[in-house]
Amino acid sequence: MAANFWTSSHYKHLLEQEDVDMVNTLDKEKGITLEDFKLIKMHMANYILKLAQQVKVRQRVVATAVTYMRRVYTRKSMAEYDPRLVAPTCLYLASKAEESTVQARLLAFYIKKLYADDKYRYEIKDILEMEMKILEALNYYLVVYHPYRSLSPLLQDAGLNDLNMTQLTWGLVNDTYKMDLILVHPPHLIALACIYIASVLRDKDTTAWFEELRVDMNVVKNISMEILDFYESNRMFTEERINVALQKLTLRP
């Protein structure tokens, strides 16, 4: 299974975009729009990254944690599973799954350091309780495949494995976790989309190489478009809009 994505639970549980974009009824009642929903998940992906930088874990742990968080919200409401607790707890769980366990105590410490706001304030006990609820929500499927793994062999194969391209594509892959791509597309296609974007940006002709790959170029291009759209709209995602969205969760319907 580790060698074969196609037999993994990750592959079997890939979702359609419209399933990912379903706002939970409870959240809808609170006035959460699809836009809010996406915004909050993006904000929480950033939160996970910030925490991870504090406790010093690898990018793969961050990617797994973000994936867990996004999977949770395909099944559970934000009203019942407060994103401000789910985010750090996903990092906590991912650190165990990826063999670089971070203590809950440490996370609780950095949560306080990062956010003075009381709404973010969660203690060790809360994290431990939420860990079990997340395990349950994930239906105990914990193995996640990431685009990182296919990135360097693909770059090498395309003859693009110089430092510049490597760094650019790696950064692009990091940014894909601000979207729901990992829930919808096989990771190697996400990697290819990042290579596609990077080669356009850096003016590298990869047409022939892509043609030789036995992949659906339409899917790769669609993923690329989605990533570019995200960068386009990213400017509008202000702190204020995020706060407004999060505020809705705390308000009574």
Partner 1 sequence: MGDGSGSNRSNSNKPEWLQQYDLIGKIGEGTYGLVFLARIKSQTNRGKSIAIKKFKQSKDGDGVSPTAIREIMLLREITHENVVKLVNVHINHTDMSLYLAFDYAEHDLYEIIRHHRDKVNQPINQYTVKSLLWQLLNGLNYLHSNWIIHRDLKPSNILVMGEGEEHGFVKIADFGLARIYQAPLKPLSDNGVVVTIWYRAPELLLGAKHYTSAVDMWAVGCIFAELLTLKPLFQGAEVKATPNPFQLDQLDKIFKVLGHPTLEKWPSLANLPHWQQDTQHIQGHKYENANLYSVVHLSPKSPAYDLLSKMLEYDPRKRITAVQALEHEYFKIEPQPGRNALVPCQPGETFVNYPTRPVDTTTDFEGTTSMQPSQPVSSGAAVSGSMAGGHVSNRSVPRPMNVGGMQRIPHQTMQAYNVTSQAGISGGMNPGGIPMQRGVPQQQLRRKDQMSMPGYPPQQKSRRI
- For binding to partner 1 (CB under 8 A), which residues are involved? 1-4, 8-9, 92-93, 96-97, 99, 101, 103-105, 124, 127-129, 131-133, 135-136, 140-143, 149
Sequential DSSP letters for 38-89: HHHHHHHHHHHHHHHHHHT--HHHHHHHHHHHHHHTTTS-TTTS-HHHHHHH
Provide the minimum distance between the beta carbon of 95 and partner 1 in the complex, in angstroms, as a whole number.
9
Provide the minimum distance between the beta carbon of 24 and partner 1 in the complex, in angstroms, as a whole number.
21
* Pairwise CA distance, residues 143 & 2, whole Å: 8
- Comparing CB distances to partner 1, the nearer of 34 and 132 is 132
**Nearest residue to 64 (alpha-carbon basis) of 84, 50, 53, 49:** 49
- Comparing CB distances to partner 1, the nearer of 133 and 241 is 133
What DSSP character marks residue 118? G
What would the 3-class secondary structure string for 129-163 be?
Answer: HHHHHHHHHCCCCCCCCCHHHHHHHHHHHHCCCCH
- Comparing CB distances to partner 1, the nearer of 64 and 224 is 64
- Comparing CB distances to partner 1, the nearer of 122 and 196 is 122
Provide the minimum distance between the beta carbon of 9 and partner 1 in the complex, in angstroms, as a whole number.
6
**Amino acid sitting at position 160:** L
Provide the minimum distance between the beta carbon of 141 and partner 1 in the complex, in angstroms, as a whole number.
6
Provide the minimum distance between the beta carbon of 242 and partner 1 in the complex, in angstroms, as a whole number.
28
- Comparing CB distances to partner 1, the nearer of 133 and 202 is 133
- Comparing CB distances to partner 1, the nearer of 128 and 228 is 128
Pair 179, 70: CB distance under 8 Å = no
* Pairwise CA distance, residues 226 & 196, whole Å: 13
Ramachandran class of 56: left when φ > 0, alpha when ψ lies in -120 to 50, beta otherwise? left
* Pairwise CA distance, residues 11 & 52, whole Å: 26
Provide the minimum distance between the beta carbon of 90 and partner 1 in the complex, in angstroms, as a whole number.
13
Provide the angle, in degrees to the nearest 10, between the axes of the packed helices 59-72 and 124-137: 70
